[in-house]
Structure 1
Amino acid sequence: MVVVSSTFSQPVEGILLQTPSTKLFVNDQELGTATLYITESNVVWGGGVRPSGVAAPAISLLYPSISLHAVQRDPSPALYMVLNYELRIPELAQPATGGGDTNEDDDDEFDADDQPITQLRFVPQSEGDLQAMYSAMSQGQALHPDPTDEVDEDDPYMDGEEFDECEEQFEDAMDSSGAPAGSEEEAAARLRHLHLDRTNGTHPADEEEDADISDQ
């Protein structure tokens, strides 16, 4: 979930990092300069101004809406994020759609599912703050793991129940020969069932043929 608001309430709990004078670029368009708060529950940018000097909107991001975060060096050192959400801010021009060259549009369609995304760049006043920003983001993200990555403890394939059942059925099939499991009698019974002889892997028909030759 992403919330854009004209009012700003400073976070007071669970703050992992607070970075003042942080510029925010939304899809390469500068929104303004404000304080970045990385907390245990969300990421908030607010209390700042736009390049024109008017108040900038506050933005609150919940961790599940952030699909990627990384340190970016080019075009300027920044904390880079990708949202699985199309962030629309009236103050910013929206990318033009339609009416353009077809080949150019095809080149931009890098997402097979055509899922809308938003790219954010948080540029701190000091490049030395980048590592702390990344570490705080990683810490907050770890508190909100992706549900699809969690292991279902009730999954029978994870606790071996299915394999146990197969093993029990296999043992029952072996016991049906009438010989104790693992005994030589059982092995012999299985070989006889397969019409094979235990000596040197020869077929009984081969031995009878050898006997006929020796009698001659």
Structure 2
Amino acid sequence: MVILTSFPPPTEGIVRKQECTQAHVRGKCLGDGTLYIAESRVSWVGNDGEGFSLEYPAISLHAICRDLTAFPHECLYLMVDANIDVQEHRGEGDAALAGDDADSVDDTSEIHFVPQDKSALTTMYQAMSDCQTLHPDENDSLSEEEGQFYGAEEEGEVELTEEGRGVLQHLDALLEGGVQPQGGPTTNGHSTGMLWRPLKVS
């Protein structure tokens, strides 16, 4: 569970600080705040002092979305490898991004960061790409070997696992909906280019 609570903004390893940025979690707007893209994690702190942090291994994809039919604002789009939602604590004012809901089918969540200055989106995307390369998936090489294999009948054609096919379908839907990665979608710090690969985030 990622708690939306009061905490001081990060002070070390900040690569990009973007003020006047809204955070939308699964369609719910958390208000205006400041986005901190640091070497260790991505943090968002609202103007009320409450916020949340995401570790890079949990971010399976980030991209720039400019299609207003897919989302009403140009934004930095994140797909998080967890089922999270904004919930209110009973008797408390804090909210939580709650994961591991046993009754939910989805195992990924979408977060949109909407800066007031839309010209900053490319810089924000690049900052995330640079920081994410500092956190490679330890199982990346192993998952690539296990997640794709070559058939004898059609040499050179990659066959994906069930997990890989699910991710491929989701990514295709995002691209059709207007999510436009810059220089190719980035998964766990690795540009996939034209080949979609299974994602396995620890």
TM > 0.5 between the two?
A: yes
Superposition map of 1:196-215 within 5 A: none
Following TM superposition, the consecutive aligned residue runs of length 4 or more in structure 1 with deviations greater than 3 angstroms are: none
Q: Percent identity?
A: 39
Mapped to 1, the partners of 2:107 and 2:50 lie a distance apart of 21
Unaligned runs of 5+ in 2: 89-94, 98-103, 144-202
Alignment counterpart, residue 146 of structure 1, candidates 131, 137, 154 = 137
Q: Which residue of 1 aligns with 2:84?
A: 87
In the TM superposition, residue 74 of structure 1 has moved relative to its aligned partner by 2.2
Mapped to 2, the partners of 1:124 and 1:5 lie a distance apart of 20
Mapped to 2, the partners of 1:4 and 1:45 lie a distance apart of 12
Superposition map of 1:187-198 within 5 A: none
The alignment covers a number of residue pairs equal to 127
Superposition map of 1:122-201 within 5 A: 122-150=113-141
> With structure 2 as the length reference, what TM-score do the two structures score?
0.57
Mapped to 1, the partners of 2:27 and 2:140 lie a distance apart of 31
Mapped to 2, the partners of 1:56 and 1:69 lie a distance apart of 25
Q: Which residue of 1 aligns with 2:173?
A: none
Mapped to 2, the partners of 1:61 and 1:116 lie a distance apart of 16
Q: Which residue of 1 aligns with 2:50?
A: 57
| Residues 78 and 122 in structure 1, CA contact (< 8 A), matched pair in contact too | yes
In the TM superposition, residue 142 of structure 1 has moved relative to its aligned partner by 0.3
Q: Which amino acid aligns with 1:73?
A: R
Q: Which residue of 2 aligns with 1:13?
A: 12
| Residues 27 and 120 in structure 1, CA contact (< 8 A), matched pair in contact too | yes
In the TM superposition, residue 151 of structure 1 has moved relative to its aligned partner by 6.5
Alignment counterpart, residue 70 of structure 1, candidates 48, 51, 63 = 63
SS of structure 2 residue aligned to 1:85: coil
SS of structure 1 residue aligned to 2:139: helix
| Residues 16 and 38 in structure 2, CA contact (< 8 A), matched pair in contact too | yes
The structure with the larger Rg is 1
| Larger RCO of the pair (alpha carbons < 8 Å, separation 6+) | 2
Alignment counterpart, residue 121 of structure 1, candidates 112, 118, 138 = 112
Unaligned runs of 5+ in 1: 49-54, 95-108, 153-216
Mapped to 2, the partners of 1:121 and 1:144 lie a distance apart of 21
Does 1:29 find its partner at 2:22? no
Mapped to 1, the partners of 2:46 and 2:111 lie a distance apart of 18
Mapped to 1, the partners of 2:128 and 2:21 lie a distance apart of 15
Deviations 1:154-182 (A, max 9, x none): xxxxxxxxxxxxxxxxxxxxxxxxxxxxx
Give the structure with the larger helix fraction: 1
Q: Which amino acid aligns with 2:121?
A: L
SS of structure 2 residue aligned to 1:90: strand
| Residues 25 and 85 in structure 2, CA contact (< 8 A), matched pair in contact too | no
Q: Which amino acid aligns with 2:39?
A: E
> With structure 1 as the length reference, what TM-score do the two structures score?
0.54
In the TM superposition, residue 150 of structure 1 has moved relative to its aligned partner by 3.5
